[in-house]
Structure formats: C-alpha cells, structure tokens
Amino acid sequence: MDNFLNEIEKEKVIRFTEQNLRIATDNYSSLMGSGGFGKVYKGNFSDGTIVAVKVLHALSEERIEEQFMAEVGTVGKVHHFNLVRLYGFCLERNFTALVYEYMVNGSLDKFLFNSDKAIGFEKLYEIAVGTAKGISYLHEECQQRIIHYDIKPGNILLDRIFNAKVADFGLAKLCNREILILP
C-alpha cells in the first residue's frame, strides 16, 4: 500500500521552497545551461532523485509570471512518455523555479551540431518519431489542445538511452478544440 500511495503522490506537481532547491542543487553549484528565461542547475534530492532546476529570471515580473504560468499550466497537467516531466515548482517573493526530471544526455542540438557527439541515423529516426509522438499528444490527445510554439533541437531532451522528451513550454498556449486557426 505504501508503494501505491508513493506512486500516487509522485503524480502531483509538488510545491518546493527555495531552501529545498538550494539544498538539492548544493547552493546552485552545477550549472547545466541557461536561456532567455533562466538558468538550469542539476539537483539531487535526499531520496536519490536527480532533477533539473530551472531558476526563472526575466526583464519584468510580468514576464516571469507568464513563463511560470505557461509551464505549470501546460506540462504540469499532462503526462506522456515523450514529454519532460514537471516534478514541481517554487514560487516565493523573489524566487521562481521549475523542477523537471533530469535528462542525462541533455538536448538534441548537442548531437546535431557537434561532430564529436554524432549519433547514427537509426537513433536520429527514433528521436524524430518520439518527438512527433510527444507533439501529437499535445495537439490531438490532450483534453485541451496545447500548442508548443517553440519546437527546436534545443527543446528536445534525451534520456539515458536517447528517448526524446519535448521540453520548454514557456511559449505554449492552451487552445480550445474548436479552434481550427491558430494565432
């Protein structure tokens, strides 16, 4: 029964404190990357779960709020093998962060644009199919259609065995099923 209850609890998006994330990331010591909306750090919780912690920053509080709501409002509500999983978030006065499953192989762009890390055609095909499955799920299978708006190699993450996971839902929009023409 405990295992069952633990699995059910894992399905919920968890609200973390800034202190939880500071401890998990060893005071943000392992920077994995950065982008327009923030920096991503590797973290490790006491139970052994490795995570990616995206600390949001923006030019204005309104942009942080938009990014946060887009990410939590979309990926926080859906579950699919080919979508990166959102474990939780932190929303405190001067600190906003998103906590995702960790993808050991990083993003696809590392392998497409770096000849030292090239991968074979068969694996690229599998990655393309996995990406398409994730996008198809968002567009066709979700109760409320989700349009990503920013599919690119940097937003396709790869797990240990190179399964594709669509990530970075900062520009995503929820659309009613009746809408045929997208903005």
Q: Which residues are the active-site residues? A: 150
Q: What b-and-e string marks burial along 146-166, b requiring 16 or more CB atoms within 10 Å of the CB? A: bbbeebeebbbbbbeebebbb
Q: How many CA atoms are closer than 13 Å to the CA of 107, on its beta-carbon side?
A: 18
Query: Which DSSP string corresponds to 96-131?
Result: EEEEEE--TT-BTHHHHS-GGG---HHHHHHHHHHH
